[in-house]
C-alpha cells in the first residue's frame, strides 16, 4: 500500500488548497491512505470543526495533531466522537480525544495510526512519549496490519531516538512541527520508513507560514507582534511511504512537494 503523509496545514489558504487538490493527488500517486497533520489549520490556533470536516471530505483518512490542537475548544466534541481526528497520545487522560486509532483503508488494510508529542524544546511539556507508544502497540496487537506514527516534536535527536526504538514495529514514522522538510527520507534497518520532518502545507513566501516581516520584527525588537499568514502560492510538503502490507515493512520513502 502507498501512504501519503502531509506536513502541518497552516491556515485557511492551505485548507482551501488541499480541498481543491488532495483527491487528484491520491489518484495521481495511487495513494491508499492519507494522513494530514492539521493542528495549525486554524492558523496557529488548532483546528476548527469546519476545517476538520473539509479536510476529511477532501480525501484525508486521518488528521493528526500537536501542541496547538487543544487551542480550539469547539473541536473538542469531534476529538471525542470521530476516530479520524487525533491529538497527541501523551496528553493527560482527562483531555478530550484519543491519541491512536485503527482505521481501514479503501483496500481493506487495517491501519493503526499513533500521534505522539516530544518533550524537548516544546510546550506544553507532556509525559514521556515512549511508554505511550509502547502501550498503543501492545493494546492493538492483532487488530492492525500496518502501524504508523506522527511524532510532533522539535528536536531532531528525539525524533530519531523514537524511530530507532520502534524500528521494525512501525511501518512508517514521520516527524512534524518544525514546518521545514528534512532530506533524510530512509528505510531503517528493521523496516520502518522514516523522515525527520515532513515540512508544511502552507503559503510560500514567508517564514514557517507566517509573514516574513512580522517574524523579523519579533526577532529584532523582542516585542510581541500579531502573527499574520504568509502570502504567495501554497505548497504541500510531505512523503509517500510504499509499504508491504503483508509484512508491515516499508519498501521506500519518497519526498513530495506538491
pLDDT of residue 106: 83
Q: What is the pLDDT of residues 34-85, one digit of tens each?
A: 999 999 999 988 999 999 999 999 999 999 999 999 998 999 999 999 999 9
Query: Is 209 a domain residue?
Result: no
CATH number of the domain at 53, please.
Answer: 3.60.21.10
- Expressed as residue numbers, the domain containing 164 is 2-202+233-257
**Domain contains 213:** no
C-alpha cell at 102: 485503527
The predicted model scores a pTM of 0.96
Q: Is the pLDDT of residue 127 over 90?
A: yes
Count the domains in the chain: 1
Do 148 and 142 form a contact (C-beta atoms < 8 A)? no
Whether 214 maps to a domain, the answer reads no
Report the percent of the chain where pLDDT is more than 70.
100
Ranges of H-type helices in the chain:
12-28, 49-58, 76-81, 129-139, 156-165, 212-221
Q: Assess if residue 177 is contained within a domain.
A: yes
Backbone angles phi, psi at 16, to 5 degrees: -60, -40
**CA 255/CA 185 separation, integer angstroms:** 7
Phi then psi for residue 8, to 5 deg, are -40, 120
Can you list the positions of beta strands (E) in 72-222?
A: 100-104, 110-117, 146-152, 172-176, 186-187, 193-195, 200-203
Say if 122 falls within a structural domain. Answer: yes
Q: Name the residues annotated as catalytic.
A: 68
Q: Over 90: is that where the pLDDT of 2 sits?
A: yes
Query: Per the domain annotation, does 219 fall within a domain?
Result: no
Q: How does the average pLDDT of the chain come out, rounded?
A: 96
In the predicted model, what is the mean pLDDT of residues 168-175? 98
Cβ pair 84, 62 in contact under 8 A: yes
In a domain, 244, yes or no: yes
Do the domain assignments include residue 46? yes
Amino acid at each position: 500500500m502507498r501512504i501519503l503523509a502531509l506536513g502541518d496545514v497552516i491556515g485557511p489558504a492551505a485548507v482551501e488548497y488541499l480541498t481543491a487538490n488532495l483527491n487528484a493527488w491520491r489518484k495521481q500517486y495511487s495513494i491508499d491512505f492519507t494522513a494530514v497533520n492539521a493542528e495549525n489549520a486554524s492558523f496557529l490556533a488548532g483546528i476548527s470543526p469546519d476545517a476538520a470536516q473539509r479536510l476529511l471530505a477532501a480525501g484525508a483518512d486521518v488528521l493528526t495533531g500537536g501542541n496547538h490542537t487543544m487551542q480550539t475548544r469547539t473541536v473538542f466534541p469531534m476529538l471525542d466522537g470521530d476516530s479520524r481526528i487525533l491529538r497527541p497520545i501523551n496528553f493527560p487522560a482527562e483531555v478530550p480525544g484519543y491519541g491512536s486509532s485503527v482505521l481501514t483503508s479503501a483496500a481493506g488494510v487495517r491501519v493503526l495510526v499513533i500521534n505522539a508529542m516530544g518533550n524537548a524544546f516544546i510546550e506544553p511539556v507532556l509525559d514521556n512519549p515512549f511508554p505511550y507508544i509502547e502501550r498503543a502497540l501492545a493494546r492493538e496487537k492483532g487488530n492492525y496490519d500496518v502501524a504508523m506514527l506522527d511524532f510532533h516534536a522539535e528536536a531532531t535527536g528525539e525524533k530519531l531516538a523514537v524511530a530507532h526504538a520502534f524500528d521494525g514495529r512501525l511501518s512508517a514514522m514521520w516527524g512534524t512541527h518544525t514546518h521545514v522538510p528534512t532530506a533524510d527520507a530512509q528505510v531503517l534497518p528493521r523496516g520502518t520508513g522514516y523522515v525527520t520532518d515532513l515540512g508544511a502545507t502552507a503559503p510560500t513566501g514567508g517564514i514557517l507560514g507566517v509573514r516574513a516581516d512580522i517574524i523579523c520584527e519579533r526577532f529584532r525588537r523582542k516585542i510581541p507582534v500579531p502573527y499574520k499568514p504568509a502570502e504567495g502560492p501554497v505548497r504541500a510538503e510531505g512523503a509517500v511511504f510504499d509499504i508491504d502490507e503483508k509484512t508491515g515493512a516499508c519498501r521506500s520513502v519518497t519526498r513530495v512537494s506538491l
